Amino acid sequence: MSGGDDALLFDGRSAGARAVDVEVSGDALIIHAPGEDVREWPYSTLEVLDRGNGLRLRSSADPDSRLRLSNSLSDQLFRAAPKVFSSGGRNRDQLALIAALTAGAAAIGAVLFIGVPLAARPLTLITPPSAETTLGANVSGQLALIYPRCEGPRAQAAEQAARPVLDRLYNSQFEPFELSFHFADTPVPNAMALPGGYVMATRGLIETLDHPDQFAAVMAHEIAHVRNRDALTGLYRSAGLGLLLDLVTGGSGLGQQIILLAGQATSLQYTRAQEARADEDALRLLEASKINPTALAEAFERMQTWSAGQETAGPGEIDLPEWLSSHPDTDKRIERARAVGDKGFASSLSQEAWETIRNACSD
Ligand SMILES: [Zn+2]
């Protein structure tokens, strides 16, 4: 399933890295490098070196080599062997975080005296992006248990079709994170930004929207959350010191499991202030990227129509998308986005690309 460019192997003998195929099996990573014997790295031998642009690992079974996994392979590894991400002592991320926390003693003082909610934002600011990416990989792995990823050739084609628009809105060279994007097979129209640049859009969303610019507008809103690191702030606010301790100590990871499974992802909800700012940023970002900003208003309207249709289906049976439930002033937000006015830009994606996106989760 993994394409050749999903993983790179540095074997310590040749100068460069080679593209290899990596299989995430029951108890080991199986590495197929062209023209040589298969390498087996048991999960118990793995050590995470760092994260950022992918996940870098080594194995005591093959001490000279280093392996870099794509975020999608790293997600698979998290699902197969979550311990790899939390055991084995402190890695560089955690040491960097401890250093940052020491330097940010004032913010820690704020935690002790005013409690986490008000200190959540300062805590985000002193958290190194690499530590946030590690957390994002964990959260993304957990979220996949609730919202299964759309997989297979159509999902891959759809992710590729969405790339040009994501790249227009987000230039990772100037941002703390690479953007990792995928579709989830869930009927509720929703999109979510997780810590560390992980963004997800549901099947329900692409079925509910009827123009690629509306999809771009939803993505612009999520990308604004990524840039503002809102998800991490939200998690600090709701999970507080437990999360902080987990990040610092590389603890059992239990705190992080509890966040999503007990909270049913509600801990990823944002405050009204964060939402308002993400809307404003999205409108500016769309205009700067020459994508029609009024598409944000249309996206809201489509989702409102969807949710009005659901209410007749019987209360308690649907869970309202985060997009509307944490956005109580939807009418006001529509008005605001309409006020920017149609800029007469061409459609952000071809009809063909849009069809490919809409088929992301149909096998
Ligand atoms: Zn939002």
Phi, psi of 297 (to 5 degrees): -60, -45
289, pLDDT greater than 50: yes
For residue 68, the cross-strand partners are: 8, 56
pTM of the model: 0.69
Q: What distance in angstroms lies between residue 223's CA and the mean position of ligand 1's atoms?
A: 9
210, pLDDT greater than 70: yes
pLDDT exceeding 70 applies to what percent of the chain? 73
* Terminal C-alpha separation, the chain: 15
Query: Can you tell me which residue has the tokens 């309409």?
Result: 338
Higher pLDDT, 190 or 235: 190
Summarize pLDDT for 291-348 with one digit per residue, the tens: 999 999 999 999 888 887 775 554 444 455 556 655 557 888 899 999 988 889 999 9
Q: What's the pLDDT score for residue 151?
A: 93
Token pair for 214: 């509306």
Query: Can you tell me which residue has the tokens 């760092």?
Result: 50
Measured in whole angstroms, the distance separating CA 110 from the mean position of its chain's CA atoms is: 28
Q: What's the pLDDT score for residue 258?
A: 44
Token pair for 176: 């703390």
| Per-residue confidence band for 234, with pLDDT thresholds at 50, 70 and 90 | confident
Q: What distance in angstroms lies between residue 125's CA and the mean position of ligand 1's atoms?
A: 19
Q: What distance in angstroms lies between residue 60's CA and the mean position of ligand 1's atoms?
A: 42
The vertex-259 CA angle with 255 and 264, nearest 5°, equals 150
Which has the closest alpha carbon to 349: 213, 214, 241?
Answer: 213
Q: What distance in angstroms lies between residue 282's CA and the mean position of ligand 1's atoms?
A: 10
Q: What distance in angstroms lies between residue 337's CA and the mean position of ligand 1's atoms?
A: 14
The C-alpha atoms of residue 2 and residue 196 are separated, in whole angstroms, by 22
Q: What distance in angstroms lies between residue 19's CA and the mean position of ligand 1's atoms?
A: 37
Q: What distance in angstroms lies between residue 319's CA and the mean position of ligand 1's atoms?
A: 16
- The DSSP line for 235-254 is HHHHHTHHHHHHHHHT--SH
Q: Name every residue whose Cβ is closer than 8 Å to that of residue 157 and which is 6 or more positions away in sequence.
A: 356, 359, 360
The C-alpha atoms of residue 209 and residue 333 are separated, in whole angstroms, by 17
The C-alpha atoms of residue 188 and residue 128 are separated, in whole angstroms, by 33
Contact 297, 337 (CB under 8 A): yes
264, pLDDT greater than 50: no
Helix count and strand count (H, E) for the chain: 17, 10
| Per-residue confidence band for 149, with pLDDT thresholds at 50, 70 and 90 | very high
Higher pLDDT, 245 or 126: 126
123, pLDDT greater than 80: no
Q: What distance in angstroms lies between residue 26's CA and the mean position of ligand 1's atoms?
A: 37
Q: Under DSSP, is residue 184 helix (H, G, I), strand (E, B) or coil?
A: strand
pLDDT exceeding 90 applies to what percent of the chain? 36
Contact 27, 61 (CB under 8 A): no
Which has the closest alpha carbon to 300: 328, 281, 262?
Answer: 328
Q: What distance in angstroms lies between residue 50's CA and the mean position of ligand 1's atoms?
A: 29
Q: What's the pLDDT score for residue 117?
A: 59
Q: What distance in angstroms lies between residue 96's CA and the mean position of ligand 1's atoms?
A: 29
| Per-residue confidence band for 164, with pLDDT thresholds at 50, 70 and 90 | very high
122, pLDDT greater than 60: yes
The domain segmentation of the chain, as residue ranges, is: 4-69, 138-358
Q: What distance in angstroms lies between residue 298's CA and the mean position of ligand 1's atoms?
A: 16
> Which of 7-16, 23-32, 52-61 shows the highest mean pLDDT?
23-32
Q: What distance in angstroms lies between residue 277's CA and the mean position of ligand 1's atoms?
A: 9
Q: What distance in angstroms lies between residue 219's CA and the mean position of ligand 1's atoms?
A: 10
Token pair for 34: 């062209």
Summarize pLDDT for 93-109 with one digit per residue, the tens: 556 665 665 555 555 55
Token pair for 310: 């659901």
Q: What's the pLDDT score for residue 66?
A: 85
257, pLDDT greater than 80: no
